Amino acid sequence: MRTPEDPRPPGDLAPPGYLPISDYGIIGNLRTAALVGRNGSVDWCCFPYLESPSVFAAILDAGRGGRFSVSVADGGLGVQDYIEDTNVLVTRFQAGSGRLAVTDLMPLTGEISGRGESHAPPVILRILDCEEGTVEVAVEWSPRFDYAQARTSIEAVPGGWLATSGGEAIFLCGLEDAGIDSNGQGANLHARFMMQEGDRRVLQTRWGLEDMTCDPTRAEAALAETISVWRTWAHYEDLAQTPRWAGEWLPYVTRAELTLKLLTMADSGAIAAAPTTSLPEEIGGVRNWDYRYAWVRDASMTAQALISLGHPREAIEFLQWMERTAEAHSGARQPQVLFALHDATADLTEVELTHLEGYRESRPVRIGNAAANQLQLEIFGELISTGYELIRRGVNLGPEALRFLSAVADYACSRWTEPDQGIWEIRGPAQHFVYSKVMVWVALDRAIYLAEHHGLPGDVDRWRRTRETIRERVLAEGYDPGLGSFVQSFGSKALDAVNLRIPLVEFLPFDDERVQGTIDATLEHLTKNGLVYRYLADDGLPGGEGAFGLCTFWLVDVLALSGRVEEAREIFDGIVARANHLGLLPEEFDPDTGEFLGNFPQAFTHIGLVNSALYLAHAEGRWVPEHAPAGIPREGVR
């Protein structure tokens, strides 16, 4: 991971008021999460849930968004690291001969391997320790409710401070002396105090009015409990479960593992695509989307990655959540592709928040996501693949789950001939995307296998006929002999990096000349400085975007499994080196500067890191789990 002396990727600098996206770490409690900057500021947090309105949103508007900042009075950036194998973050500030450590966490207790067995109050706990000398500490607490649309009032109450707006409230304790000022958006609380070596102070902010007490002596126990919960889940206590195949990449794989878990909701089993909204894919651009929801595709891929890391319960809980969600939407014309994390019937209408300037003036800021109403055929393949990955590891899904997967296969059969918006959720006209058709083939291929070997009920003859028809059409209309590559949609000349997955899902073998041609075309036309763009075709939106992290890892995967291991290793080492000081990765990168772009941290990219480390380990002859992810040859192409 990046050293304190080299904290940022080259060129990753932001103007005053905004940190680079790479300067943030994340904490969370499996219900919500917060981004904490190297300047000690909580600049993004939604309460009580990840998809709830924000309370701190300075990352989307430095002036009006609101923050909870703790730093040394002279300002500056600290050095961040996680307590090993946890999601507990420590930021250390040096001020002359004094050093301040700020330990940030959302307290968590209980068993987190499954749904509904943990407890997490809606709290951010900040433990301040003066480790050397004397430091002057500066605190700002300026909550802004409902995405800073509501004016905030702050008043002193017994035991602390209470911020309110309408029926919403958040409580702060741990500060005896503080001042309140006001600006156009509401009240701000400021405090300064001195700490000597050995001093400790605990600040706690809690959502709601349920518990307005503060016991600083409980902080040490909460810290110890939270550390134990994370380490136990990550198999810290059981070295036999450590992913030995990760080798020198183990710290990055572990960080990816913990980050993916942070995006898994303990109360529902849903898995979020990212914890943020509207971090731009191009600075100053309009490609700013809300990712605080569960996409069937993203969540399925996350579940499959967690299976590979030895966490099948998360995948089982996700499939069960998907069953319940599908039942709630059983009367819909077509399956919804994304859902709220805690209420599957919630309205996801896309709204622009025109009062916020956006990260570094990247407007608009959006909440909700209109992609919920799109048809995306490839989700069928991801859903059935999740069940397939569990079953082939010996997990008994039960008759309800099998009936659900059978219904998914039937639905895929009935819709596959239609155009859709594809994996990239194109906002223009629907098209016959090649990858969408391939993933319907995957859905039926896996369903047939499960029917033949594991008792999945259904019309297998129909599935088999449709599977072969899809295969014939993809090979006839999805491959361009002149380009020597699969293309984005039937009849187009545009390349799309998602077609790298064709051999990974076992549609064709790696040594097929059409697969190798697609790899070479991606290297030549979609790759810049070791990073891969999704596509370069016109998608109906103005502006551009960065190179896509997951696509870069897909390139690593197919090179490794094609025997082109040195090429794969070079690209993998290159993108891993671009991780921030904590080992976290964004959705996209500026391939010229390395600057982080898009929502952060992104599940997709961390999924890619886990799988690529595993594929490379296999390609280099290391031990890998018996049931490695799809793509590693086991039974040949079916």
Which conformational region is residue 636 in: left (phi greater than 0), alpha (psi within -120 to 50 degrees), or beta?
left
Q: What is the pLDDT of residue 244?
A: 74
pLDDT over 80 at 333, yes or no: no
Q: Among 480, 490, 487, which residue's Cα sits nearest to residue 502?
A: 487
Q: What is the pLDDT of residue 397?
A: 84
Average pLDDT over residues 198-221: 92
Q: What is the pLDDT of residue 14?
A: 53
Q: Which residue has the higher pLDDT, 235 or 176?
A: 176
- The reply to whether 437 and 515 lie within a common domain is yes
Q: Among 231, 243, 228, 387, which residue's Cα sits nearest to residue 312?
A: 387
Average pLDDT over residues 429-450: 97
- The reply to whether 559 and 462 lie within a common domain is yes
- Residues 362 and 287: their CA atoms lie apart, in Å, by 9
Q: What is the pLDDT of residue 631?
A: 61
- The reply to whether 314 and 192 lie within a common domain is no
Q: What is the pLDDT of residue 635?
A: 46
Out of 180, 199, 233, pick the residue that ends a domain.
233
Which run of H or of E encompasses 135?
Answer: strand 134-141
- The reply to whether 73 and 130 lie within a common domain is yes
- Residues 290 and 279: their CA atoms lie apart, in Å, by 9
pLDDT over 50 at 636, yes or no: no
List % helix, strand, coil for the chain (3-state, nearest 5): 35, 20, 45
Q: Tens digits of per-residue pLDDT, 555-586?
A: 999 999 999 999 999 999 999 999 999 999 99
Q: Is residue 632 part of a domain?
A: no
- The reply to whether 61 and 131 lie within a common domain is yes
- The reply to whether 77 and 115 lie within a common domain is yes
Q: What is the mean pLDDT of the chain?
A: 92
- Omega before 121 cis (within 30°)? no
Q: Is residue 16 part of a domain?
A: no
Q: What is the pTM of this model?
A: 0.94
Q: Which residue has the higher pLDDT, 623 or 36?
A: 36
Q: What is the pLDDT of residue 323?
A: 80
Q: Is residue 15 part of a domain?
A: no
SS3 of residue 128 by DSSP: strand
- The reply to whether 125 and 43 lie within a common domain is yes
Q: Is residue 197 part of a domain?
A: yes
- The reply to whether 200 and 88 lie within a common domain is yes
- Residues 478 and 472: their CA atoms lie apart, in Å, by 10
Q: Which residue has the higher pLDDT, 16 or 277?
A: 277
Q: Is residue 137 part of a domain?
A: yes
Q: What's the CATH code of the domain at 426?
A: 1.50.10.10
Q: What's the CATH code of the domain at 168?
A: 2.70.98
pLDDT over 50 at 420, yes or no: yes
Q: What is the pLDDT of residue 13?
A: 45
Average pLDDT over residues 490-509: 97
Q: Is residue 136 part of a domain?
A: yes
Task: Express as a percent the part of the chain with pLDDT over 90.
Answer: 77
Q: Is residue 427 part of a domain?
A: yes
Q: What is the pLDDT of residue 460?
A: 97
Average pLDDT over residues 484-489: 98
Average pLDDT over residues 400-415: 92
Q: Which residue has the higher pLDDT, 244 or 348?
A: 348
Strand-by-strand arrangement of the 168-173 sheet: 79-82, 89-95, 98-105, 123-132, 200-207, 168-173, 160-165, 153-157
Domain tally for the chain? 2
pLDDT over 60 at 28, yes or no: yes
Q: Is residue 541 part of a domain?
A: yes
pLDDT over 70 at 98, yes or no: yes
Average pLDDT over residues 246-274: 95
Band (pLDDT 50/70/90 cuts) for residue 623 is confident
Show the beta-strand stretches assigned E in 283-337: 294-295
pLDDT over 50 at 214, yes or no: yes
Out of 215, 233, 251, pick the residue that ends a domain.
233
Domain that holds residue 612: 243-619
Band (pLDDT 50/70/90 cuts) for residue 20 is very high
Q: Which residue has the higher pLDDT, 86 or 631?
A: 86
Q: Compute the C-alpha angle 250/253/258, nearest 5°.
A: 125
Average pLDDT over residues 90-117: 95
pLDDT over 70 at 5, yes or no: no
Residue 106's identity, in one-letter code, is M
- Residues 111 and 233: their CA atoms lie apart, in Å, by 8
pLDDT over 60 at 332, yes or no: no
CA 193, distance to chain mean position in Å, is 37
Task: Express as a percent the part of the chain with pLDDT over 70.
Answer: 93
Scanning the structure block, which residue is given the tokens 């369903």? 447
Out of 233, 263, 297, pick the residue that ends a domain.
233
Q: What is the pLDDT of residue 630?
A: 64
Average pLDDT over residues 612-637: 73
pLDDT over 90 at 355, yes or no: yes
Q: What is the pLDDT of residue 637?
A: 38
pLDDT over 70 at 15, yes or no: no
- The reply to whether 190 and 288 lie within a common domain is no
Start-to-end CA distance of the chain, whole Å, equals 40
- The reply to whether 134 and 254 lie within a common domain is no
- The reply to whether 299 and 374 lie within a common domain is yes
- The reply to whether 146 and 206 lie within a common domain is yes
pLDDT over 50 at 136, yes or no: yes
Lowest-pLDDT range, 77-81, 160-164, 397-401, 545-549?
397-401
Average pLDDT over residues 91-120: 95
